[in-house]
Amino acid sequence: METCRRRGRPCLYHQIGQCAAPCQGLISKEDYAALAEGAALFLEGKNRDLLTVLKKRMATAAAEENYEEAARFRDLIRSIEITVEKQKMVTETGDMDALGFARRDTLLEIALLFIRGGVLTGGRNYTFSWEMDDAEGISSFLNEYYNRDVFIPAEILTPVSLPEADDLEDLLTDKKGKRVRILLPRRGAKAELLRLAVKNAETAVEEALHSREGAGRTLEELQRRLHLANLPRHIECYDISNIQGTHAVGSRVVFRNGQPEKRDYRRYRIKGVSGADDYGMMREVLSRRCRDLEKDPPPDLFLIDGGPGQLNVLARVLDDLGVSGPDAAALAKSRVRSDVEDEEIRRSDERVFLPGRKNPVTLRQNSAPLLLLARIRDEAHRFAVAYHSRLGSREALRPGAEKIPGIGEKRWKSLLRHFGSLKTVREASLEELMQAPGISRAVAETVRGHFHPEKSE
């Protein structure tokens, strides 16, 4: 939420209908409280209480002739009623997990349903790229899933016979300390649960395919708008985080087909650069990343946060290392600018800088390609800042560390909390500084003058 507030606009989740954007004031306190109440009832398993509340709201919306809102409540009520109906299927006591799967080419979707004490309590879906036999894929998933710190039920229901099922049963029995069985039910309540799990997997795999198609269109549009040589299915973004050169770290985040691939994220602790040399730090990070391209192939697109200067560093490093295949781009954040005549504060567009092109490309605000690039850039920044904090940078972040005359610890802490890092504070314009809580124009001028004495006049 704090990130959205700094960005000045709703995030991608609002654009796809998964967030009401309370950080932007797009939902009233009353409506937000109603959402929170409904979520709490659902998570507590009080579905019938939730149905009563939703039916009253649907009736109120219909009476006020707000038919679109009433239809939304109607669809939500139906979804919850289906869940309640499915819970009635389980009549026997006991703990079990029911596993269903669906496959489309190499896309394997696995759905788990959790039954605890004879009641269906929820479930989770998992998506994999799998080219081998279905049974082998499920067996591999079960080995990995129950090897983690998760609850192991007395029974695991599967729709196919698994290779070496007896060995897996013995392994899970040893870990649980009680008998665990892997079953393939053909009839009765357990078979119904298994069919429900399969149906969930089939629904999820269709949604995953639809999502991939949407991501594919976004990537194609991104390639066309930026005139990229490659379709950017594999994008890597890099960011630097430091406090005036101390505790400097770099981050790499990886997105494939428009989705984060967190297992390929990397953190870099800067070793060969001293002082506040962001360009030198970026050069070190990129050089280390490109050290073994056979083991870790380059992406379709290298993306960095910044303008022409950062892009030139990226281009020089790739050229020095002989990396000629990938595209490169730099995404510059929008800036707040003030119109002196009418005192109107405006926000500039985010710009994409490309090698060999003097003028940046401006993507349409809230367009799918821009939202994707901004999401990747923000994820790289978040990942770098998180690593920075883990390195024990509390002393560097201590309020008053900058010792700016006239700026007390409370205001300094407010600035750091609002902007996220000293680098962002240092680069902020006067208008951006004034947007921080408790920062007046006079204080903003003092901070700006400290970092940029040549502009203080």
Lowest mean pLDDT, pick from 180-194, 212-226, 375-389: 375-389
Domain co-membership, 380 together with 413: no
Question: pLDDT tens for residues 30-86?
Answer: 778 777 877 777 665 566 778 888 888 889 888 888 888 888 888 888 887 776 665
Whether pLDDT at 210 is above 60: yes
In terms of Cα–Cα distance, which of 136, 141, 89 is closest to 112?
141
Q: In the chain, what percentage of residues exceed pLDDT 90?
A: 21
Domain co-membership, 371 together with 271: yes
CATH of the domain at 110: 3.30.420.340
pLDDT at 376: 93
Whether pLDDT at 334 is above 70: no
Domain co-membership, 259 together with 345: yes
User: Is the residue at 226 inside a domain?
Assistant: no
Average pLDDT for residues 22-27, to the nearest whole number?
Answer: 77
| Separation of first and last alpha carbons in the chain | 35
Phi, psi of 9 (to 5 degrees): -155, 160
Q: Which of 63, 87, 111 is the last residue of a domain?
A: 87
Domain co-membership, 343 together with 260: yes
User: Is the residue at 418 inside a domain?
Assistant: yes
Token reading at 24 = 């932007």
Token reading at 168 = 């897996």
pLDDT at 220: 93
pLDDT band at residue 111 under the 50/70/90 scheme? very high
Q: Which domain holds residue 430?
A: 398-455
Token reading at 310 = 């950062």
Strands 266-269 and 259-260: unpaired
User: Is the residue at 334 inside a domain?
Assistant: yes
User: Is the residue at 181 inside a domain?
Assistant: yes
Domain co-membership, 258 together with 387: yes
Evaluated on CA atoms 312, 318, 319, 320, the torsion sign reads positive
Domain co-membership, 25 together with 106: no
- Average pLDDT over all residues of the chain: 81
Whether pLDDT at 92 is above 80: no
Domain count, the chain: 4
CATH of the domain at 448: 1.10.150.20
Q: Which residue has the higher pLDDT, 419 or 183?
A: 183
User: Is the residue at 351 inside a domain?
Assistant: yes
Q: Which of 206, 225, 257 is the last residue of a domain?
A: 206
d(CA 110, CA 129): 11
Supply angle C-alpha 343, 345, 346, rounded to 5.
135
Domain co-membership, 390 together with 402: no
User: Is the residue at 213 inside a domain?
Assistant: no
User: Is the residue at 268 inside a domain?
Assistant: yes
Domain co-membership, 243 together with 389: yes
Domain co-membership, 331 together with 269: yes
SS3 305: strand
Q: Which residue has the higher pLDDT, 319 or 20?
A: 319
What's the whole-model pTM score?
A: 0.51
Evaluated on CA atoms 327, 376, 256, 209, the torsion sign reads negative
Domain co-membership, 81 together with 55: yes
User: Is the residue at 254 inside a domain?
Assistant: yes
Domain co-membership, 262 together with 363: yes
Domain co-membership, 327 together with 434: no
Number of neighbouring beta carbons within 10 Å of residue 16: 12
pLDDT band at residue 269 under the 50/70/90 scheme? confident
CA distances to 121, 134, 322 from 200, in Å: 15, 17, 48
Strands 234-243 and 301-305: parallel
